[in-house]
A = this chain, B = another copy of it.
Amino acid sequence: MSREHIVDTARRMVEASGVETVSMRKLAAELGVAPTAIYWHVGGRDELLSAVFEQMLTDLPPIRVRGRTPAERIASIARAMRAQVQATPTLQRLALHLGRAPQASFSGHLALGRELTAAGLDGPQAADALRAVLYLMGGFVLLESSLRDRPPSAQRSEDLWRAVDDPQIAPPLVAAMSRPADPDAAFEYALRALLASILPR
């Protein structure tokens, strides 16, 4: 019944069934202990979740940079960050819940900073570029996750498009929007478009 054992158990529960469903009482039952015993070792619920978050952070592998040109290397970082976020949905939900989203991806921020410096960008312009890439990546994964763990009653954008009959919109466009999006392709498209405008050539 150490603090370590409690945090480990909480982490297993969070990873198995999500942040929301983990309660102090269920955790206590899992530990075979009274709910109030937990408060002696860790603080309240949010302090416990913070400890879980910190533990998961240390297990995060570093971001690997690939490619030769600056555009390739920056794109590879953005892809790696997105992949890491997608591979650790629980960590991301925790980060969001605790308001520590920046910390969960900060090693990627630094990697982007290094590549932009190497590409010859500097100062406010480099910061604009860095933030643009971060916003694009972060926005994408946030959107994707909010689409993924939607409630059962959720509507899909495709279904709304299928009912569209607007003479000012080309029918092939309506047809294309009525098919499910390929998020990977959409991300590649937007990322390339952004980087093409951002980087000096």
User: What DSSP secondary structure best describes chain A's contact surface?
Assistant: helix
Known: A98-B153, A117-B168. 15 other contacts (CB 8 A): A46-B151, A98-B154, A99-B151, A99-B155, A102-B156, A110-B166, A110-B169, A113-B174, A114-B169, A121-B173, A122-B172, A124-B172, A135-B190, A139-B142, A190-B194
What are the residues of chain B within 8 A of A138 when measuring CB–CB? 139, 143
B153 touches A143 (CB 8 A): no
**CB of A59, distance to nearest CB on chain B (Å):** 19
A173 touches B122 (CB 8 A): yes
What's the number of copies of this chain in the assembled complex?
A: 2
A72 within 8 A of B: no
Interface residues of A in 158-178 (CB under 8 A from B): 160-161, 164, 166, 168-170, 172-177
A192 vs B196: C-alpha distance when bound (angstroms): 12
A66 vs B109: C-alpha distance when bound (angstroms): 35
A186 vs B129: C-alpha distance when bound (angstroms): 9
What are the residues of chain B within 8 A of A123 when measuring CB–CB? 170, 172-173, 175-176
Interface residue from B124, B131, B142 paired with A142 (Cβ < 8 Å): B142
A40 within 8 A of B: no
Closest to A106 in B: B160
